[in-house]
């Protein structure tokens, strides 16, 4: 076994120090070798391999290659919409105060029983002066005008040459031999004359001016019939320059009544057609819901024969309003339905009164369950008409007007909702409470109430609640006692509704266009595109029909335009995406793609940095060799 010689500590440390010093200073060959190793580590003789870089980029490449397939597979279907046509249609409607102007034509007939004369109105120049003066007084409305002098032995006409005008021969009829103060008879006589010899269609009106008989001292009087004609009696055509005065009065009747439905402003001028929208659905339909309310059946119970009321009073109104609106009737009887406001006793009137300020709160929404129609689904429109039978302790019940007077109709109208009418049982003030009895109201008993309801329907559709009666201007009207609405009033409603439907269709389509543009991920089905195309086509058809004065065809086309536009806007697939924000998609795709993309991007950055360093080493090696 070999022996190991131990050295002193000091000697060992000195020896180690010497050895260390000799390693750096005493061995130059070792230092050279270390420098060569460092140089070789910072350079390389061969270019770096690209296999790892290719593999890393291939992952990103295939990921990007799948993006188009993912985009196409998740793309929603969007049927093409005519955005430019929608914008153009909306611009045309917005550029005019009336979206659609159905024309009005007026035939003025001057008639006299006197023989033909060669002076005065008999000249063509005088007829033309009446036509020109009428246009100046027509307040800017464009009427097709025709003026005729119809005497017993002559007939002269100027103006529009159209086929619908009344033929000559009125002076040879019995018109001038009857009592012209019998308005109902004259109205039916003129209607039979027009009906037998000419068609009286929408927008075509006739005004007959009957010359004052020689020596007659009759006041000038104008009557508007219940069809599409009016007449003026007591006209003095012998005064010089009578044309302007008579044309001014004719224009007033034509514009205020035939054109605007009798709506007159405080200044006495005809109001514009900008009236509140009609209470109709987009399809032009409405449900007339009639409810008989027994406030306290312990006092008395009232029922009614609503079928007879509908057949006798309501059906004529429904028939005459069919071009404007399609009505359906429903009814019910409710019990224990007190009103929501209190009344006070008036000793002078011996009646309970509801103040005018309390009328808006009359309807008791908690007790009056009026919305019971099974047909009222979707966007249907219901017009409520409540007939309120008060309890014995507040009967008779009357409503006060804002002036403090008692309402003659004992009812009120709520725009867009309907109306309320109070029915006080006969002699109810003398009846004893808690003496319950059952009564059934016949159609005859309800005749005054139905008259009030008809007036309420007129008011809801923008017509005056009362028929023409203006004693100041000696203008009167023949009430449409059977239908409740005159033929010329139906024309007014058709013009208003046609304009309203065209404006509504343009507004709805424009809103749809902007909505679709703001939501690129919204599904647009072919059904929506078809509705939009159909709405634009019907709007164009309404405009073309209006040019020829086809009232019913234009109104029907406008109705379809609005209905198709709203059907497109309220399509269920659109409604489900109205509240689908972009953040929802971000929340769905983030958990799937962010983890993968994060690792791929980090690996790509690392590999790119490594390859760059290795390439720089290779470049330094080439420079060193040079």
Region at 160 (left for phi over 0; alpha for psi -120 to 50; beta for the rest): beta
DSSP per-residue letters across 53-112: HHHHHHHHHHHHHHHHHHHHHTPPPB----HHHHHHHHHHHHTSSSS----EEEEEEEE-
**Domain presence at residue 416:** yes
Cα separation, 511 vs 534, whole angstroms: 17
Cα separation, 546 vs 100, whole angstroms: 7
Which DSSP symbol is given to 270? B
* Integer-rounded Cα radius of gyration of the chain: 45
Confidence check: pLDDT of 116 > 60: no
Confidence check: pLDDT of 25 > 60: no
Output the CA angle 113-116-118, nearest 5 degrees. 140
Least confident of 276-290, 343-357, 464-478, 567-581: 567-581
Confidence check: pLDDT of 519 > 90: no
Confidence check: pLDDT of 76 > 80: no
End of a domain among 426, 446, 461?
461
The pairing of strands 438-441 and 221-224 is unpaired
Answer yes or no: do 142 and 228 share one domain. yes
pLDDT in the model for residue 2: 42
The answer to whether the beta carbons of residues 273 and 139 sit under 8 Å apart is: no
pLDDT in the model for residue 56: 79
Of 218-227, 373-382, 412-421, where does the model show the most confidence? 412-421
Confidence check: pLDDT of 592 > 70: yes
Cα separation, 32 vs 589, whole angstroms: 60
The answer to whether the beta carbons of residues 343 and 388 sit under 8 Å apart is: no
Answer yes or no: do 186 and 306 share one domain. no
Answer yes or no: do 240 and 316 share one domain. no
**Domain presence at residue 43:** no
**Domain presence at residue 135:** yes
**Domain presence at residue 451:** yes
Answer yes or no: do 435 and 328 share one domain. yes
Least confident of 93-97, 281-285, 418-422: 93-97
pLDDT in tens, 138-196: 878 888 899 988 877 778 888 876 666 787 888 778 777 778 888 899 999 888 887 65
Answer yes or no: do 245 and 311 share one domain. no
Answer yes or no: do 69 and 110 share one domain. no
pLDDT in the model for residue 454: 94
Confidence check: pLDDT of 198 > 60: no
Kindly indicate the confidence band of residue 118, based on its pLDDT and cuts at 50, 70 and 90: very low
State both tokens at 334. Answer: 């409710």
pLDDT in the model for residue 399: 93
Answer yes or no: do 175 and 318 share one domain. no
pLDDT in the model for residue 303: 93
Confidence check: pLDDT of 22 > 60: no
Cα separation, 400 vs 552, whole angstroms: 41
Kindly indicate the confidence band of residue 207, based on its pLDDT and cuts at 50, 70 and 90: very high
Least confident of 117-121, 185-189, 372-376: 117-121
Mean pLDDT, all residues of the chain: 80
The answer to whether the beta carbons of residues 542 and 557 sit under 8 Å apart is: yes
State both tokens at 395. Answer: 């009967």
**Domain presence at residue 519:** no
Confidence check: pLDDT of 401 > 80: yes
Phi, psi of 99 (to 5 degrees): -65, -30
pLDDT in tens, 34-59: 445 455 567 777 777 778 878 878 88
Q: What is the pTM of this model?
A: 0.79
**Domain presence at residue 342:** yes
Q: Give every CB contact of residue 593 below 8 A, 6+ residues apart in sequence.
A: none
Identify any residues that bridge with 399 across adjacent strands, giving them in sequence order: 354
Closest of 64, 60, 66 to residue 605, by C-alpha: 60
End of a domain among 461, 488, 512?
461
State both tokens at 186. Answer: 């004259």
Answer yes or no: do 297 and 422 share one domain. yes
The answer to whether the beta carbons of residues 251 and 137 sit under 8 Å apart is: yes
pLDDT in the model for residue 450: 94
Confidence check: pLDDT of 276 > 90: no
Phi, psi of 286 (to 5 degrees): -155, 150
Confidence check: pLDDT of 5 > 60: no
pLDDT in the model for residue 270: 47
**Domain presence at residue 485:** no
Answer yes or no: do 350 and 392 share one domain. yes
Identify any residues that bridge with 333 across adjacent strands, giving them in sequence order: 292
pLDDT in the model for residue 217: 60
End of a domain among 424, 442, 461?
461
Kindly indicate the confidence band of residue 267, based on its pLDDT and cuts at 50, 70 and 90: very low
Answer yes or no: do 224 and 323 share one domain. no
Our count of domains for the chain comes to 3
Cα separation, 437 vs 428, whole angstroms: 12
pLDDT in tens, 429-441: 665 554 567 889 9
pLDDT in tens, 442-494: 989 999 999 999 999 999 998 887 777 777 888 888 988 888 899 999 999 99
**Domain presence at residue 316:** yes
Answer yes or no: do 368 and 430 share one domain. yes
pLDDT in the model for residue 79: 83
Range of the domain at 132: 104-259
Cα separation, 270 vs 259, whole angstroms: 9
Report H helices in 95-224.
Answer: 124-137, 183-197
Cα separation, 122 vs 14, whole angstroms: 153
The answer to whether the beta carbons of residues 431 and 399 sit under 8 Å apart is: no
**What is the arithmetic mean of pLDDT over 289-304?**
91
Answer yes or no: do 236 and 289 share one domain. no
Strand spans (E) along 449-525: 469-470, 475-477
pLDDT in tens, 496-516: 999 899 999 999 999 999 988
């Amino acid at each position: 076994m070999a022996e190991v010689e131990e050295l002193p500590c000091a000697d060992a440390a000195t020896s180690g120090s010497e050895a260390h010093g000799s390693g750096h200073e005493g061995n130059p060959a070792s230092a050279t070798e270390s420098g060569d190793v460092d140089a070789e580590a910072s350079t390389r003789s061969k270019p770096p391999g690209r296999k790892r870089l290719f593999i890393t980029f291939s992952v990103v490449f295939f990921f990007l290659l799948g993006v188009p397939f993912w985009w196409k597979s998740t793309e929603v279907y969007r049927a093409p919409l005519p955005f430019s046509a929608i914008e153009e249609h909306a611009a045309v409607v917005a550029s005019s105060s009336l979206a659609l102007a159905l024309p009005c034509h007026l035939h003025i007939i001057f008639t006299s029983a006197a023989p033909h004369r060669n002076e005065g109105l008999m000249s063509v120049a005088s007829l033309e002066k009446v036509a020109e003066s009428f246009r100046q007084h027509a307040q800017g409305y464009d009427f097709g005008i025709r003026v005729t002098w119809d005497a017993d032995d002559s007939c002269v006409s100027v103006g529009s040459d159209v086929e619908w005008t009344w033929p000559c021969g009125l002076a040879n009829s019995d018109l001038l031999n009857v009592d012209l103060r019998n308005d109902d008879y004259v109205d039916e006589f003129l209607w039979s004359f027009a009906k037998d010899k000419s068609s009286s269609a929408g927008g075509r009106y006739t005004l007959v001016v009957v010359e004052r008989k020689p020596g007659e001292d009759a006041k000038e009087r104008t009557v508007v019939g219940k069809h599409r004609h009016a007449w003026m009696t007591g006209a003095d055509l012998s005064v010089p320059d009578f044309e302007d005065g008579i044309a001014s009065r004719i224009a007033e009747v034509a514009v205020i009544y035939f054109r605007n439905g009798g709506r007159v402003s405080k200044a006495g001028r005809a109001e514009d057609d900008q009236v509140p929208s009609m209470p109709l659905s987009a399809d032009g339909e409405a449900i007339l819901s009639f409810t008989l309310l027994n406030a306290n059946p312990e006092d008395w119970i009232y029922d009614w024969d609503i079928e007879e009321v509908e057949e006798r009073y309501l059906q004529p109104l429904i028939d005459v309003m069919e071009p404007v609106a399609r009505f359906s009737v429903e009814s019910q009887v409710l019990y224990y339905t007190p009103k929501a406001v209190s009344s006070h006793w008036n000793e002078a009137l011996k009646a309970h009164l509801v103040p005018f300020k309390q009328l808006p709160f009359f309807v008791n929404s908690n007790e009056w369950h009026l919305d019971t129609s099974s047909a009222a689904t979707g966007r249907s429109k219901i017009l409520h008409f409540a007939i309120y039978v008060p309890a014995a302790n507040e009967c008779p019940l009357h409503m006060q007007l804002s002036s403090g007077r008692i309402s003659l109709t004992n009812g009120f109208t709520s725009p867009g909702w309907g109306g309320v009418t109070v029915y006080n049982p006969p002699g109810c003030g003398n009846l004893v409470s808690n003496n319950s009895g059952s009564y059934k109201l016949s159609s005859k008993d309800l005749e005054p109430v139905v008259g009030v309801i008809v007036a309420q329907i007129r008011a809801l559709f923008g017509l005056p609640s009362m028929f023409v009666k203006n004693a100041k201007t000696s203008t009167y009207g023949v009430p449409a006692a059977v239908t409740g609405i005159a033929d010329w009033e139906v024309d007014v409603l058709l013009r208003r509704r046609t304009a309203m439907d065209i404006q509504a269709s343009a507004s709805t389509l424009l809103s749809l266009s902007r909505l679709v543009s703001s939501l690129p991920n919204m599904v647009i089905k072919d059904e929506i595109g078809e509705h939009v195309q159909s709405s634009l086509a019907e709007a164009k058809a309404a405009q073309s029909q209006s040019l020829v004065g086809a009232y019913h065809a234009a109104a029907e086309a406008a109705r379809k335009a609005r209905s198709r536009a709203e059907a497109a806007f309220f399509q269920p697939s659109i409604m489900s995406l109205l509240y689908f924000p972009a953040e929802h998609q971000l929340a769905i795709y983030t958990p799937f793609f962010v983890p993968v993309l994060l690792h791929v991007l980090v690996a790509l950055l690392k590999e790119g940095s490594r390859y760059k360093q290795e390439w720089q080493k290779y470049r330094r090696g080439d420079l060193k060799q040079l």
